[in-house]
Amino acid sequence: MPDGDTTRQGRTLRTPQALRDAGLLRPDAEADATRVATRFAISVTDHVARLIDPADPADPIARQYIPDAAELTTAPHETDDPTADGPFTPVKGVVHRYPDRALLKPLLACPVYCRFCFRREVVGPDGGLLTEAELDTALAWFEATPAVREAVLTGGDPLMLSPRRLGAMLHRLAAIPHIETLRIHTRVPVAEPSRIDAALLAALDVDKPVFLAVHANHAREFAPPATAAALDRLARTGIPLLGQSVLLRGVNDSAEALEALFRAMLRARVKPYYLHALDPAPGTARFAVPDDQGLALLQSLRGRIPGHAIPTFVRELRAGGGKRPVSHG
Ligand code: SF4
């Protein structure tokens, strides 16, 4: 694997050595990070690297993306498939958990690889791109399943597809009479915003409503002008923007950090939608925040920020039970 590659916006760092050379990994942490890299993918785009303060050992952006020795330890409650997609997969690339909607995972590559990712066992730069035949089978499943009214594109990150391939997929889904809405989950606006160009916007222009769920966990992710401009372009095309975050220790586990995050989303025209409790993927325990603490944090924001700035706090149930609002006790 090369140390880094060149994206439209600069070099993407993909190995511990590249992170060390960029000053984002302490030399004495490289050996452990190299062991982590044998199991979990690493990617830090140039855009994200510029957001990190290398002088701050507790930098909340670095914590999301820089590998750590703690990832080598799997806690007893952690599991390879915490959302249990497997039993709900009727054909490759599709997850059908709720009657009225289904996920389509056209690829498993992302612009960045998050250290807390719930699909960390399967995402990576080499994996998961459906072949044309597999994609055709997946789309045919949507066409043949009239109960499904929303197609949710996730992965991986669907905005890593070429605009041509993404556009063809969206057009075929939009042409299905029983599909009413399309939703795309993505980290691209905050990780590699240069991808939100005219060709991508044209690909998103289909005859059914497209909602974009923007995944971000810290206010600073919205600070770069390139991210603000990308979200502005999306919003001006009429695409509703929803914010999805994960409550992460050391990243956003304070009222101040959450307030700043949700206010940053609103300024970027992104409606805070879900705050997820951490899914117990292997080696992620250092990010866990107790549910009661999460509830108290959100409660503390009531009256402090507008009601529409407060997302719903949810947890994925084990064994594929789906999302449920977190409640006391
Ligand atoms: S962008 Fe999403 S799917 Fe990709 S590594 Fe991060 S959390 Fe996982």
At 247, list the tokens. Answer: 């409550």
Alpha helices in 7-131 (DSSP H): 16-21, 30-37, 46-49, 60-65
At 319, list the tokens. Answer: 């064994």
Pocket test for ligand 1, best of 117, 120, 276 (most atoms within 8 A of CB): 117
Rg of the chain (C-alpha set) = 19
Please indicate whether residue 105, judged by its CB atom, sits closer than 6 Å to ligand 1.
no
Peptide bond preceding 320 in cis form (omega within 30 of 0): no
Q: How far is the CA of 155 from the centre of ligand 1 (A)?
A: 8
> Residue 7's pLDDT is what?
46
The SS3 assignment for 9 reads coil
Using alpha carbons, select from 44, 121, 110 the residue that is nearest to residue 81.
121
CA 61/CA 68 separation, integer angstroms: 13
Residues of the chain with pLDDT under 50: 1-4, 6-9
> Residue 317's pLDDT is what?
82
Using alpha carbons, select from 304, 227, 294, 216 the residue that is nearest to residue 259.
304
Name 5's bridge partners: 12
- Which sign does the torsion angle of CA 325, 257, 250, 152 carry? positive
Q: What's the full length of the chain, in residues?
A: 329
The answer to whether 195 and 237 have CB atoms below 8 angstroms apart is: no
CA 159/CA 204 separation, integer angstroms: 10
Q: Residue whose CA is closest, atom 5 of ligand 1? A: 113
> What is the DSSP-derived secondary structure letter of residue 42?
-
> Residue 316's pLDDT is what?
86
Looking at residue 19, its amino acid is L
At 150, list the tokens. Answer: 């929303």
Please indicate whether residue 187, judged by its CB atom, sits closer than 6 Å to ligand 1.
yes
Burial of 198 from C-beta contacts in 10 A (0-12 / 13-18 / 19+)? exposed
Q: How far is the CA of 179 from the centre of ligand 1 (A)?
A: 26
Q: How far is the CA of 12 from the centre of ligand 1 (A)?
A: 16
CA 323/CA 44 separation, integer angstroms: 29
Looking at residue 5, its amino acid is D
CA 276/CA 160 separation, integer angstroms: 23
The answer to whether 62 and 24 have CB atoms below 8 angstroms apart is: yes
> Residue 320's pLDDT is what?
65
Q: Cα torsion for 195, 200, 204, 210, to the nearest 10°?
A: 10
Using alpha carbons, select from 40, 79, 148, 111 the residue that is nearest to residue 319.
79
CA 181/CA 150 separation, integer angstroms: 5
Pocket test for ligand 1, best of 119, 159, 161, 248 (most atoms within 8 A of CB): 119
Using alpha carbons, select from 188, 192, 227, 233 the residue that is nearest to residue 7.
192
